[in-house]
Structure 1
Amino acid sequence: MEGFDLTAIMLVTSLLVPIIGAFMAATPYLMRRGEVFAVTVPTSEQNDPYVKALKRRYAVVVGAATAAFTLAGFACAAAGNVDGVMGVLIVGSLGLTAGGYGLMLAYRAKMTAYKNKHGWEADAQESVAVVGEQPVPHAVSVKWNLLYLPVMLITFAVGAIGYAHMPDQIPMHMDFDGTVNRYAEKTPIILWMPVLIQAFMGLCFAFSHWTIAHSKKWAEPGAPATSALAYGLFARAQSIYLVVGGLVIAVAMIAMPLSFMNLINLGQAGVLVMIAALVLCIGGMAVSVVYGQAGSRVFKRMQTSDRLLVDDDRYWKFGVFYFNPDDASLFLPERFGVGWTLNFARPAVWAIVVGGLVLTVAFVVAVMVLF
């Protein structure tokens, strides 16, 4: 592998850890104003000194760990230690994710005790129906995901046109030092490999888009109209991000048939795909920071209340797993994090989880057997 390819791969890889860590550190500030570390509180209590101190402490701890892993990753990259860069990526990303979640659980326990101490309880479970003269924004149509089809056709066409120029043994995998360690025999079926990957990823993005369109809508009882508008804008932005982000990844996959023809090497193809993944991560963070979870940052100055209008803490197991058999919704906004989660009390959800697992295993097996 050429030096530029190796340097680019190490640089892009090293940037993933600070992106993950920055998002984890900012998460408490992105949540809905009536939730603190997955605990429901009166909206006016966001300015409580204890609450602000917990958020700040969480951000400092996760931020410090992120800085340490980032420095280690850049040090390894500067020394040309590829194994070190990959080790920092794996240990750092898993450590920040698991550590951040564990710290959230610890602060959740503190917030629960603080909530009980102050006697914050919902007098009655209030729900709202949003009625207004203007329609509430919503996710863009799932049909936009059909844009994956022409990209897949172009990818197949590029491979088909260049098939005659492909070597008999096509490089499929190489070490970071540029040594090819796996080949695939040149057959027409090789043309379907990048298309199969695009199709699987397209289905994943399309399903995520579909869950947004069919998710339980969030509206705060204390400010039903503005919160519903904020959620609608958030859902629209996230759905657009999924469509655009998925297309960026799909277009980057066109590099695969180009590498089969030796127009670019595997290292350069890998760099293009990794840059696309980095763009996807940065785009996701940008949407999260601008809108906040469920649109919490869109209207920062919505009317606050000292009352606790709704309290569903008992349905959130370990702060992130929603289990409510009385709720017909399959999908709903997350309690800690930006995005959506599942109602694990619904049998249909488990069918979706099992179906997704089967599809993923089938995809992995197909790639291993066919290619």
Structure 2
Amino acid sequence: MDVTLLFVSLAFLVVMQTIVPFIVKRTVVFGVTVPVEEVKNEELRRYKKTYAALTLSGSIIVIALAIWFMREETIMLAALFLPFVLLFLSLTLYFVFHMKVTKLKQEKSWFKNRKQVRVSELNLRLKDEMLPWVIYLIPVIITFGLLGFSVVNYAQFPDPIPTHWGPDGKPDAWTDKSYVSVLALPMVLLVLNGMFLGINELTKLSGIKLSARNVTASRARQLQLRKYSSWFLFFTAILVSILFTFLQFNTLYGDQIGDLVLVIVPLVFSILMFIGAVFLAIKVGKRDSDFELELIEDGKGDTINIDDDRYWKGGLIYFNRQDPSVFVEKRFGVGFTLNFARPLGYAIILGPLLLLLLIVAIL
């Protein structure tokens, strides 16, 4: 069962990394902005297919080698390092094709001598369907309920408190019982739910960028992306709250919970997260598949969407002091990423991480 859980998780990771070029918006190819009339460029299509084929085949080879050399005592080591190996493989291939698309763009001079414009609609926010902040209080309330439950039942918790579980579902590390150790898990959950709330609100305040040559399609896509990203974030917050609640109950009632349940619950969590991510990709991608190119029939036209590649480091890291948005749409993947030029974003992301490290250090 331990091996099954590991390889099901790896399969999810491989599938997502393989299909990424086909679910991002089509005017960005491997982190490079391309004109709307080039989205069907045969060379760009070939790059995407080659990346997918190499990512899939390379990942299969890595996993096959891991199976060949894996022993029961190395399952934990494989669980720790295999995801990083697979991500390194896909990221390496991404940069290879990022450079190829950049070179092609320069050779073809797609943006040369063309008027670049930025399009916005002042009333578009009125149509935004992102979830309101009050909805995110639901997982917060769950967390406070878990905190209260833990305080009331403090005397029933074991001493010492388990802090880590091995691949067999059995605890393999402990710490002395105290209110800090008993409440550590709910406090971590509270920090995470606060982060989810902050990300949703800052994303809601971020700008909505439209394409100059396909305003209708880009407007629909942006609204879909924001709506379903908000729902996915809330879905994640609820699932994480349920998982942490289960883990806290396991600490208290570990003798009454079977080993099989300890393996199945994280597996179900992973499957549901994967389903949610696929649903998000399909809903946003489906809207992009309805992409009607608003082009001048007899030529490319002089007006084109602004080329902001200079603000994207490697097509992955966004740094733009002129953009007030804290979160912007990812260029490789579905969802949002941080504008690293906005200090508030660091507070939302790094603040919770520092709090988590503090809790771990105290334990």
Question: Could you tell me the TM-score, scaled by structure 1's length?
Answer: 0.83
Q: Offset at 1:235?
A: 0.7
Q: Which residue of structure 2 lines up, in the alignment, with residue 341 of structure 1? A: 337
User: Which of 44, 51, 63 is the aligned partner of 1:51?
Assistant: 44
Q: Which residue of structure 2 lines up, in the alignment, with residue 252 of structure 1? A: 243
Q: Offset at 1:351?
A: 5.1
User: Which of 70, 84, 91 is the aligned partner of 2:81?
Assistant: 91
User: Which of 6, 10, 13 is the aligned partner of 2:6?
Assistant: 13
User: Which of 210, 214, 227 is the aligned partner of 1:223?
Assistant: 214
Secondary structure of 2:127's counterpart equals coil
Which structure 2 residues correspond to residues 66-105 of structure 1 after superposition, within 5 A? 66-72=59-65, 81-105=71-95
Q: Offset at 1:315?
A: 2.1
Q: Cα deviation per residue 1:244-266 (whole Å; 9 max; x = unaligned)?
A: 22111101211233222333268
Q: Offset at 1:133?
A: 9.8
Q: Which residue of structure 2 lines up, in the alignment, with residue 321 of structure 1? A: 317
| AA at the equivalent of 1:221 | A
Aligned mates of 1:251, 1:172 — CA distance in 2? 18
Aligned mates of 1:268, 1:185 — CA distance in 2? 26
User: Is the Cα–Cα contact under 8 Å of residues 329 and 343 in structure 1 kept in the other structure?
Assistant: yes
Q: Cα deviation per residue 1:50-97 (whole Å; 9 max; x = unaligned)?
A: 111111100000111222344456668xx8x45544444443322232
Aligned residues: CA RMSD: 3.0
Aligned mates of 2:239, 2:348 — CA distance in 1? 26
Q: Offset at 1:282?
A: 3.2
TM-aligned CA distance change 1:317 to 1:296, over 3 Å: farther
- Consecutive aligned runs of 4 or more in structure 1 exceeding 6 Å deviation: 131-134
Secondary structure of 1:171's counterpart equals strand
TM-aligned CA distance change 1:119 to 1:156, over 3 Å: closer
| AA at the equivalent of 1:13 | L
TM-aligned CA distance change 1:56 to 1:194, over 3 Å: same
Secondary structure of 1:144's counterpart equals helix
TM-aligned CA distance change 1:304 to 1:207, over 3 Å: farther
Q: How many residues align?
A: 355
Q: Cα deviation per residue 1:100-151 (whole Å; 9 max; x = unaligned)?
A: 2222222122222222222211511212233789953331112211112321
TM-aligned CA distance change 1:151 to 1:51, over 3 Å: same
Aligned mates of 1:358, 1:235 — CA distance in 2? 24
Q: Percent identity?
A: 19
TM-aligned CA distance change 1:309 to 1:179, over 3 Å: closer
| AA at the equivalent of 2:334 | V
Structure 2: stretches of 5+ with no match in the other structure: none
Q: Which residue of structure 2 lines up, in the alignment, with residue 362 of structure 1? A: 355
TM-aligned CA distance change 1:175 to 1:28, over 3 Å: closer
User: Which of 306, 323, 326 is the aligned partner of 1:310?
Assistant: 306
TM-aligned CA distance change 1:363 to 1:66, over 3 Å: same
TM-aligned CA distance change 1:39 to 1:352, over 3 Å: closer
Q: Offset at 1:40?
A: 1.7
With 216-225 and 189-198 compared, the bigger mean Cα shift is at 189-198
Q: Which residue of structure 2 lines up, in the alignment, with residue 121 of structure 1? A: 111
TM-aligned CA distance change 1:22 to 1:13, over 3 Å: same
Q: Offset at 1:366?
A: 1.8
Secondary structure of 2:164's counterpart equals strand
Secondary structure of 1:253's counterpart equals helix
Q: Which residue of structure 1 lines up, in the alignment, with residue 133 of structure 2? A: 142
User: Is the Cα–Cα contact under 8 Å of residues 215 and 333 in structure 1 kept in the other structure?
Assistant: no
Q: Cα deviation per residue 1:248-293 (whole Å; 9 max; x = unaligned)?
A: 110121123322233326884465245324422331233123313x
User: Is the Cα–Cα contact under 8 Å of residues 119 and 209 in structure 2 kept in the other structure?
Assistant: no
Aligned mates of 1:265, 1:62 — CA distance in 2? 38
User: Is the Cα–Cα contact under 8 Å of residues 220 and 287 in structure 2 kept in the other structure?
Assistant: no
User: Which of 205, 229, 239 is the aligned partner of 1:238?
Assistant: 229
1:171 aligns with 2:157: no
